[in-house]
Chain A
Amino acid sequence: MNKVFGYSNKGGKHWFVSDAYNDKEIEYIKDPEGGSEISLPTAIPSPFARMDLVKTAFRNMAKSPNLKAYTKDGNVVASKEDEKLVSDCLDLAEMMFNIDSIKDKVRIIVWDKEAELAKLKNSSPMHRRLAETLELYLDQDKETYNFGLLKQLYLIEFNHKIIGCTSPATLFFATANNLSHAQIKLTKNDVMFDEHYASLYDRDAEFQKYLYLLFKANPLLSQRLTVVNNYLECNLKVLDKLNHSLYEEIKNLEVDSFRNNYSELDTGVTGNVIEVIGVPLRKRKSQDIQTAIKKSDFVIQSTKHMSDLMPLVLQNGLNKTFLYTNDAWDKAIKVPYMDKESVLEKRWLPGVRIQYPYLTVSDFLEPYLIRLVYPINKEKFFDGNVKAEVGDDSKGFLLPLKKKFFDYFTSSDLLDTKPGSPKIEMIQGAAGSVKVILSIPIAKEGEYISFERIYYQTSENQLSKPDEENNKGVVVEHQLGITLFPFIKTNNADLGAFYRVQLIDRDVVGILKNADFDLKFYTNNNDNAVEVRAKKKRSYKIPDAVNTATSQYYVLHNEFDYIQVSNVMAYGASGIIIPHWPIYQAGNEVFSFAIDFGTTNTHIEYKVGGGSPRPFDITTEDVQIATLFHPSKTTEDFGGTGAIAIRELIDNEFVPQLLGGASEYKFPHRTVLAENHSLNIETETFAIADFNIPFFYEKRVEKDKIQSNLKWAKKEKGNDKRLRAYFEKLIILLRNKVLFNKGDLSQTRLVWFYPSSMKPARKSSLETTWVQLFQQYFNPVKPPIGITESLAPFYYFKGANRLQGGAYKPVVSIDIGGGTTDIVVIKQNKPLLVSSFKFAANTIFGDGFSEYGAANSNGLINKYYQYYENILNTNRLFDLSKVLSSIKGKNKTEDVNAFFFSIENNRKIKDKQLFSYNSLLSNDEDLKIIFIYFYAAIIFHVAEVMKKQQIELPKHLIFSGTGSKILNIITSDTKILSSLSRKIFEGVYNQKFDADGLTVETEKDMPKEVTCKGGLMSNPEDLAIDISAIKSTFSCINGVDKLTYTMLNDENKAAITNYVGDFNKFFLQLDAQLSFSDYFNVSPNSFEIFKDELNKHLRDYLEEGLEHNKRLDEITSDDKEVEETLFFYPLTGTINNLIAHLSQLTPVNH
């Protein structure tokens, strides 16, 4: 059989003429190993061998129907090596098309043929030889590789290594060196230069279109780069079947688009374009890729953030087929848990080389998770959907969200459960670990990206470091409490906003004892934190002192939606608190308030619309504060930590949860204000930040400084501020009451009271304060109305239908307060006469004219202090016992007495009778004469004034005010009091009552409340009467109507003491008409002493009284009229003296 040693397949003999070996013959050569050889050494005898290899590879590949390695009839048509070479070339082309994505890593080096060859030839012989070889081949092989059209080669350096070069034969060719360092992804999930060789049709459609347009717009390329052109044609055939729409698109490409759709591709030097055989290449317009990404399934579905480049939200290990950039997501892509580039726009998308913003776990989740020492108050705060798979729910968590989360979502989005809202879940796991899952809605309908992080318990001795890069968080337990006040939002800026936020930090032990917290408040519509008007520290913790805690108060005049809590110490754990804000819904209800700001006690009544007045309260329905801890589920000792300060400081320094009703706190309440001992009153101060009303006063020991006597306190430093702070707190409570009960703020009415004896200047100052505060907090239609304290009770009794037979005849309203007694005589509903004097409860229960506290020497205190100390201790009421000694320590008789009176109303007292001061006193036969004397003096004076004004005998005496409790001490039978009163009137008038007689009306249990109620039971405007015209001051001196201090000479003073002496005689005669012993159980012994002491030192007491009151009323000029009767001055001294004597007679017997 004939044999030819060759591949032409021609028959012939010996050396016969055949053909040059062309494709056919070459293909006919069989490869024994099937063309699988990849590491093929360069076989071409030319320095440009690599260009040739690529050219050949293109030629071979174009013969493969699917443009992959291809064997036909055992002949390798296109080898794996060919596939790689073409793929690498296309990778380079695609990289250049996307050069903007990798510009930080790429450098283009220009090799100018003429210049570089000339340089080489003028260099060393070695270089010359290289140059001459290159030149030889550039010349000899110019037709094959278009070297004739080659002016410059552009070498591509990536990561400082040459990876490829332009080729006049195939656009590009790649190095044979290892390219694993350049295995990046561009815009698709195809890794450049990897072992999965991508044919053109596998690639980014945009890139394909570009290549076709490049050839279409530049026919020179089709003519000269024929192998590439053939490849493109084959690719098109594949596309026709595989991706017909792209096929159509490519078919319809317009040449003009080449200029318009792409940007100039330069070497990095503008104008120095990269060309192949003189045809400039182009690149993707950077906005094109962004336009593509905007269609990504991963685009965050933000409810608020709108920007041109909405970030993608990416998750490690996601195995859903979402559209990523312009290709499907590949679950092998590693998404870093943390991207150190903080500017989102400067970030590079993972897995591909595209600069585009994206978000990952650490953008939204904090490195630390703050655990609290109590369960969160779920009804009022979002608890982060905690699930306790392990452990219990006794400790809640702050939301470990970073502020950035709220750039895209509002706090309400997180609370919203409807689809498309972000969601958070916290799952307690083993060993104190917590897994937090934050689901972020993305563009893909109904789909979420989950950010997950597990927080591990910190070690006990040293704070564990979180590892954000590996997604490991740390749980830290902080003993902190946060309370909001008021817990309501109006969403109406016109109404103003007045918030106080209390922050308690009780981290005093362990590794976190130096923690220092700061709060930032944010609204959903502003990236900047809400302005903190003031931030005040009231208490200070001391590390390792377990009974200490830091309290801070934030004063805010704006509403906010959520709070960021940060430990500002070095490591900085932060967390978010989202309140479930109730929203104020304005209604039409008109609220009316009456505030009786008294010397001893203050009371507030309110009514809604035309309803009946009731004491101000905070009920479970309108709790004004919101504590972060759960009020009932939190254990007594805060999970064993002992962080009870978190609860206690709310009552002590802030606002109580409940007021009135069954609560231990209620109005009327002692008129006291609390502040820190170290408060510098000269700095700017704020109510409920620097000051608060301590409702626990007289119930628990206060550690703060307690200011009492606010009403009459001399103009001392800070008094105005304190008074204002006191009023402000009240007003804020009232405002909140209206808000919580859907009232109409501006329609709210406010009535306040002042004693008629109050100086106009003082009254005007109070009035200004009320007006300003009311204006600030209510913006009312009608200003507040000031009413003299004594007028209102009349309307109460009248309204309560207690004045039998009406008010045709005069009714005398006597309001016995702590400091003053006010008298009003009303006839036919019109006040005829007003009088006021400082002869009131404190005359008996205070220190008399003593400038300083004199409780240590006070008779009542001496008599009853020991008693109370004993029974409190016997009944194991040690807390109250401490309160007692604390109040006693201040040495103010009125405060100690006030405490005695308050004890029976303390919640802890079961046997009220045992502790009732009232009943003790009413049974004290030695002291009884004092109370009768006190009462008689007032009635006598009223009768004298009325008689002088020629007013007929009254029909009713009505009593109100705290001091009218004295009536109870005298007798529980008002008829006896009526008799006594009638005798006094008849004595003064020297005239008998008619058949109507005289009745005494009082509210035994709530004498104080009567004023306020009365104020609300009439038209307040009717009560706002200028009383100066009917004010009457009885001079006690015949022929003198108006007394000035100048007129107080010895003669007139003697006249006054004589007048008092006459009264004393009148009083002693009463015993004959109505036996003190029989009717009132006055002990004979005491009555004897009383009579002995009664007329002693009257002149001295008058002088003391004058001195005392001049100081009190700041009388600087003696020309001033004496505004109250001097009748009571000597009596005050006498009573004080008598108590001292009488209290020693019989010890308390129990």
Chain B
Amino acid sequence: MARLFIFAIGGTGSRVLKSLTMLLAAGVHPNGERDFEIVPIIIDPHKSNEDLKRTERLLGNYQTISNEIGSENGFFNTKITTLDNLVKSQNRVSGSFTFNLQEVANTRFKEYIDFNQLEPPSKALADILFSGKSINKRGEEVDLLDIEMDIGFVGNPNIGSVVLNQFKDSEEFKEFASNFNEEDRIFIISSIFGGTGAAGFPTILKNIRDAMNNTNIDGKGFLQDAKIGAITVLPYFNIEKDKDSPIQKSDFIGKTKAALYYYKDNVTGNNSINALYYIADDYSGKPYQNDPGDNGQKNDAHFIELASALAIIDFLETPDRELHCSGGKANKPIYKEFGIKNDSAAIKFSDLEDYTERKISLRLSQFALFRKYLSEHFKSAIEKEAWSNDKPEINKRFADDTFYRTNVSEFMTSYGEWLKEMSDNRRGFAPFILNSTLDSLIADKSVKKGFFSSKIDFSLFDDKLSSHAKGQTYSSAPVKLFKLFFETTEDILISKFGLNK
């Protein structure tokens, strides 16, 4: 199967990747020429980043679930795998989606490049290239050369570009390169206004395009002309004003513009990329806590991340012929922007363009319905309802098993939180009324009420489950759970809520 290597850089990378994971879990599927296996590579020096941790955990659960149930059962129908899983090798230790940056913990940039031992001309050059001030994690102003790198390259993508360049020498990059095939694709997620993402994107892009010059790797030819897509996330949220923080809102715009100019010349301008997705939102919503990252950087999920994740879907749906490269240059680069129907502060499905709505509303609603059932009714239904007792049984034992108790529950909880965060955010994405009764789950869809129509509740749900389960064979209890629920929720939402497939 062809693979999509996703380089998720920095906090934004993690969050967009999370949104993608949610979409894929819900069964949103790219309708491209072929199916892709997703290989996410998270690049973030920011090890304690909560967003990163959450995303990693989520991916782990996704991987476990999809390994258990396969990709034929509606939900989780796209394979996500770690880089080291591609080739079964005994030497593999990682098992992680995250690229481990070397020599950045407690290291100052000056030490990273061994500034003091440079010969005078190069020392002078480094002195001016990396001149200026920054603010360290203790809120003190320091010379840029003295900045510690383990909190990310906060606001200093020029330093990031040097540090992240070690990626090209890493095992991960070698593995990636040697596993890269002609039909494989690459997608790079980064924000333009941070540190890591802004720096990582061009670095990775250039290293891929420059692969011919990299003596450490195989598969150079495919890499140089690889079909590369990327999303560059422009500022879309507010942060609290904090004069001691290296992150300032007003910086965002200035930095964005500067970086865009750089991209204009050195990314888009020289046709380095096949498809570039721009996304931004100038909505002045609720500020994020100003936290450069050392203590968490746990930001609420945002619609923009969902939209960004959709860009990946879009990229995968783009035919090969539109992504042709020669000599490391895209022949016909594509630039895309995202639009919705209504400029709403709390977006509902109907506010989205029809295509978008079609693409996600049913699946996300199915998954939401599934989640609601599992969290509110599952325990009382098992070993009672027919669908539960049919072979393979979905009984209490199943519910107590690690798979359900940990992987499934956690994932579903995350999905709930993800939805909640998006709906609470401003601009918000609130298609669901999560705490409502079943029939008012979807904010802008009222259940078709008719003389003959029955009330939508868990009993109806159970009836539907049982009726769908009837006569079906499932290879395992997990497969049964996901497949049965996928089919049943689809049925309910189409028949009762009037959603379209």
Contacts and interface: CB of A to CB of B under 8 A. Distances in A.
B451 to A, nearest CB: 38
Contacts of B143: 177
Contact of A1 (B158, B193, B342): B342
A176 B132 contact: yes
Nearest to B250: A33
A127 B213 contact: no
Given A6-B337, A42-B132, A177-B131, A35 B254 contact: yes
Interface centre among A45, A140, A177 (most CB of B within 10 A): A45
A534 B213 CA distance: 91
B445 interface: no
B480 interface: no
Given A50-B131, A143-B270, A15 B314 contact: yes
Contacts of A140: 202, 206, 209-210, 266, 270, 272
Contact of A129 (B113, B118, B278, B281): B113
Interface in A3-20: 3-8, 10-20
Interface stretch (A51-59, A473-481, A905-913): A51-59
B268 A20 contact: yes
B337 A4 contact: yes
A2 interface: yes
B334 interface: yes
B264 A22 contact: yes
Contacts of A30: 253, 282
B151 to A, nearest CB: 14
Nearest to A176: B132
Contacts of A26: 257, 260-261, 264
Interface string B270-296: 101000111111100000000000000
A174 B234 CA distance: 28
A111 B213 CA distance: 23
B373 interface: no
Interface in B23-78: none
B337 A5 contact: yes
A124 interface: yes
B269 interface: yes
A155 interface: yes
Given A20-B268, A50-B131, A59-B261, A43 B256 contact: yes
B240 interface: no
A730 interface: no
Contacts of A126: 111-114
A646 B260 CA distance: 90
A47 interface: yes
Contacts of A4: 337-339
A1085 interface: no
A175 interface: yes
Contacts of A1: 342-343
Given A45-B157, A127-B114, A133-B165, A116 B122 contact: yes
Given A5-B279, A43-B157, A155-B125, A18 B131 contact: no
Contacts of B450: none
Nearest to A126: B114
A110 B125 CA distance: 9
Interface string A133-168: 100110111011000000001010100001011000
A165 B314 contact: no
Contacts, number: 294
Nearest to A108: B124
B254 A12 contact: no
Given A5-B281, A111-B124, A124-B117, A12 B339 contact: yes
Given A1-B342, A79-B254, A155 B264 contact: no
Interface stretch (B304-312, B364-372, B399-407, B415-423): B304-312
Contacts of A165: 124-125, 128
B336 interface: yes
A19 B335 contact: yes
A1113 interface: no
Contact of A10 (B161, B337, B344): B337
A6 B260 contact: no
B339 A3 contact: yes
B198 interface: yes
A162 B272 CA distance: 34
A49 B202 CA distance: 12
Interface string A316-352: 0000000000000000000000000000000000000
A530 B146 CA distance: 68
Contacts of A18: 278, 335-337
B152 to A, nearest CB: 13
Given A21-B278, A176-B144, A45 B355 contact: no
A177 B120 contact: no
B155 A110 contact: no
A165 B128 CA distance: 8
B307 to A, nearest CB: 6
B105 interface: no
B127 interface: yes
B414 interface: no
Could you say which of B119, B278, B304, B354 has the most chain A C-beta atoms within 10 Å of its C-beta?
Answer: B278
Contacts of A59: 261
Interface string B102-122: 000000000111100111111
A40 B254 contact: yes
B129 A47 contact: yes
Contacts of A13: 339, 341, 353-356
B13 to A, nearest CB: 14
B12 interface: no
A46 B125 contact: no
A-B pairs, 3 with minimum CB distance: A176-B132, A43-B255, A3-B343
Given A6-B280, A31-B250, A43-B254, 16 more contacts: A1-B342, A20-B333, A23-B264, A32-B253, A41-B155, A43-B198, A45-B203, A45-B262, A46-B202, A47-B162, A50-B158, A124-B114, A129-B162, A130-B162, A133-B165, A173-B128
21 contacts: A3-B344, A13-B339, A13-B353, A14-B353, A14-B359, A21-B263, A25-B260, A30-B253, A43-B193, A43-B255, A45-B262, A47-B161, A56-B258, A110-B121, A111-B125, A116-B122, A141-B270, A143-B269, A162-B128, A175-B132, A176-B132
